[in-house]
Each structure stands twice: as structure tokens, then as C-alpha cells.
Structure 1
Amino acid sequence: MKNVQQRAAIIAGVSLLLMAIAAGFSYGYVHNSLVITGDAGATFKNIQASLSLFELGILGWMIIIILDVLVSWAFYVVLKPVHKAYSLVAIWLRLLYTAILALAVSHLVIARQTILEGAQIPPSQVMTSILSFESIWSIGLIIFGLHLFFVGFVALKSSRIPKIISYLLVIAGSSYMLIHLLHTFFPQLEHTTNMLEMVLSLPMIAGELGFGIWLMVKGRKVTMTD
């Protein structure tokens, strides 16, 4: 059991780092470079001119989806000895988020297919697929935030996981839920939401990534207990 936990810790840590790189590429670079908010024509032209880059972005999302499933399993193996029931809830929440992310990414695939169909396709049709991706993913991130909150809650019950990591996970989860609840249900508060996202972006990143680094460096050397 100790060896399984240690392998799971390594898998979780490496997967989280790879996911951070893939997300930085697919969303931070590809999406933000090609998608111009409020300008369907420019977005259509950008994607059409850089279709290979857009396809690489989709590939990055598919890699993230696969790694998410791996992380779900690894988190459960690592955290189960601390609290089996709460760990199970956390992992099912992550799997639910992963399914929602897969649905969101399917709209990027639709956007790609739409562009391949030819110039007679109105740019607004591509933009509709892009906006569907963004809105569905945002709903998924509410679930993801709840997942992180449960992971942090379980981590707080362990004497082996540093409290700073546990609290960062709880803060990150709460931040994801707050930001994306506002994005989804209160679009009229866009300016306030963007300001909050800027303030909370560091703990949102540091929570899960910090846990991943700890799992890779320290977690693989210890056996989890309550």
C-alpha cells in the first residue's frame, strides 16, 4: 500500500505540472492569441490563418482531459487513508469537471470543422462555438473549485500535509467557485469579476500546483495517515 501511495503521489505531481504547461499553451497562448473578444470576424481570420496552431491547442486540451483522469485516481489513492468518504466525493467532483471540460472542448472541435467547411460559413458560427467552449468550461470550473475545496478539507485532516498547502487548496477552491459563479450567473458584474480574478489568480494557481510539487518532492516519501 505504501508503494502504491508513493507511485500515486509521483503520478499526481508530474501530471499536475504537465497539465499546467498544457493549459498555459492551449489557453494562455493559443486561445488568447487567436480569439478576439467581441470580434467574430477577426477571430475567424486568426483561426483560419493559424489552423495548425488551433489544432495543437485542441490536442493540449485532450492531453489535459487524460491527465485529469489520472490525477483523480492518484488523489484518491493518496488521500483515502486520511478520509475515504470525503476523498471519494472530491474525486467524483473532479471526474464530473473532466466530463464537462470534454464537452466544452468538443465545441472547439466543432469550430475547427466549421472552418474546414469553407469560406461560405459565417464567422459568427465559429464564434458561437468558441463562446460555448468558454461558458461550459466556466461552469465546469465551479465544480473544479468545489473539488479543490474538498481536497484541501481532507488535506487539513492529515498531519503529514503542510497546513499552508492545505489552506492554499481551500482558498484556491473557494476562489474558483466565486469567480466562475460570478462569470456564469452575474455577467453584468464583469468588471468586478475581472478585478477579483486578478487578485485571486495567485492563490488559484498556487493551491493545486503547490500540492502537486509537494507530492512530487515530499509526498512520495511519506505514507498518508489521518
Structure 2
Amino acid sequence: MTNQSNSFNSQHIPAVIAGISLIIMGMAAAFSYGYVHNSLVVSAEAVITLQNIEASLSLFQLGILGWVVIILSDILVSWAFYVFLKPIHRELSLLAGWLRLIYTAILAMAVSHLLISSNLVRQQMSGEVTELAPSDIMASMSAFDSIWSLGLIIFGAHLILIGIIALKSNYIPKVISILLVIAGGSYMLTHVLHGFVPQLDKTTSLIEMVLIIPMTIGELAFGIWLLLKGRKI
């Protein structure tokens, strides 16, 4: 009875933690990046961006809180993926876990620039800073985008590795495994182009529009499967 219970817990607990964390992460990302960031930050418009943040500082700060939730969820997913996939291939699962932790550390560095911007705007509004240059805020936004984009290359490598491990199993659906590999390759391709071939930005944006669906559903589909089926393995 004890052996059966240990076997159940070894797969059930990480599957549930990973599934719930991925869903929470998806909702937090939709709010913090999809809504807050895209609503307040206007590319190449430093004055408008500063005005937007000043007018909606509380919303901007809530967006930062959402990023903190994402970072904490990523740490949980790193552990949960490793424990759940370890029986399939221990070494690859460990490598995938470390790649996600590295990505999470890079994301935390990127988010620190949003926190710097928030503090600068708050200080100006409270009179602690007499004049805040819009270019300072835009520099922080650009740093956030650049650092996060670099991290997403590593995140893409992590997803490819997770997909390869999943393909080696006889219980994870092959379609989900393939979606993970495609999603990882899409992240790597678009963000390598963004970071290292900026002269192709228009082409990269078109490629990103085409690949946005597999990039979005790859890991989310795995999370839903973990909650519905994976926890019963």
C-alpha cells in the first residue's frame, strides 16, 4: 500500500502543481503583458508612454505584480516538470529544469526595469523628483523588452527539450509533444531574429503573427493535459 501511495504522489503532485501553475501563468501573462504593457507602453513614443504610466500608475504596478506571479510560477513549473518527466529521462529532465530556471532569472532581471520605471514615476508624482525625462522611462521599457527577448530564446530551447522528452514517453500524447517542440522552435526563431537581425523586424513580425498560435497553445495544452490526465499516471 505504501509503495502504491508513493508512486501515486510522485506523479500526481508535480502534475497538478505544473498544470495549475501554467494556467495561472497564462492568465497573469494575458493581464500583465497582453493588457497592461500593451495598453500603456507605446513603441517609440516616450512622452505618450510616460503620460500613460502617470495616469495609470496603479494599473502599471498591478502589472508588475502579475510578472512576480509569473516568475514564482515558473520556478514551480521548473521543479514540477523535472519530477514528472524524470522517470522518462532523468538527465534531459534536469537540463530542461535548469534551462527554465535560467530563463526565469533573466525574466526577473527584465522585470526589475519595470520596477525602476514605477519607482521613478512614483517619485515624480510625490515631488521627490522634480523632472523625469520620458527617455528614461522608454530606456527602461526597451531594456525590459530586450532582456526578456533574450530569455525567451532559452525558454524556447527548454520547450524543445520538454517536447523531446515527452516524445520518448508512451503516455504523453504525441500531438502535445510535437506542439511543444514547434512552440519552442517558434520562440527561438522569432527572438533570435528580434535580437540579432533587427533589420528584418517587419519580416520577423509577420513570422511571429503566423507562429503565435503554436507558441500560445503548446505549453498550455501540456498544462491542461497534466491536470486532466497526467495526474492519473
Q: When the two structures are superposed, what TM-score results if normalisation uses the length of structure 2? A: 0.94
- 2:89 paired residue among 59, 67, 83: 83
In 2, the alpha carbon distance for the partners of 1:116 and 1:78 equals 43
In 2, the alpha carbon distance for the partners of 1:48 and 1:86 equals 46
Aligned to 1:14: 20
Aligned to 1:197: 208
> Which structure 1 residue ranges, 5 or more long, are not aligned?
none
In 2, the alpha carbon distance for the partners of 1:174 and 1:88 equals 20
In 1, the alpha carbon distance for the partners of 2:90 and 2:218 equals 21
Amino-acid identity (%):
61
- 1:183 paired residue among 159, 175, 194: 194
Amino acid at match of 1:147: H
3-state DSSP class of the match of 2:108?
Answer: helix
- 1:27 paired residue among 15, 33, 42: 33
Following superposition, the deviation at residue 212 of structure 1 comes to: 0.3
Aligned to 2:132: 121
In 2, the alpha carbon distance for the partners of 1:99 and 1:219 equals 28
Aligned to 1:73: 79
Amino acid at match of 1:169: L
Following superposition, the deviation at residue 3 of structure 1 comes to: 1.2
Following superposition, the deviation at residue 7 of structure 1 comes to: 1.0
Runs of 4+ displaced beyond 3 Å: none
- CA distances 1:158-191 after superposition (whole Å, capped 9, x unpaired): 0010000000000000000000000100111011
Aligned to 2:64: 58
3-state DSSP class of the match of 1:210?
Answer: helix
Q: When the two structures are superposed, what TM-score results if normalisation uses the length of structure 1? A: 0.97
Structure 1 residue 136 and structure 2 residue 142: aligned? no
Following superposition, the deviation at residue 130 of structure 1 comes to: 0.7
> Which structure 2 residue ranges, 5 or more long, are not aligned?
1-6, 125-129
In 1, the alpha carbon distance for the partners of 2:123 and 2:23 equals 36
Higher mean C-alpha deviation, range 152-161 or range 118-127: 118-127
Aligned to 1:106: 112
In 1, the alpha carbon distance for the partners of 2:14 and 2:44 equals 43
In 1, the alpha carbon distance for the partners of 2:38 and 2:216 equals 18
Amino acid at match of 1:165: I
Amino acid at match of 1:143: I
- 1:3 paired residue among 9, 23, 29: 9
In 1, the alpha carbon distance for the partners of 2:136 and 2:92 equals 42
3-state DSSP class of the match of 1:120?
Answer: coil
In 2, the alpha carbon distance for the partners of 1:195 and 1:80 equals 37
- 2:220 paired residue among 209, 217, 226: 209
Amino acid at match of 1:125: D
In 2, the alpha carbon distance for the partners of 1:4 and 1:67 equals 19
Following superposition, the deviation at residue 124 of structure 1 comes to: 0.5
Q: CA RMSD in A?
A: 0.7
Following superposition, the deviation at residue 26 of structure 1 comes to: 0.1
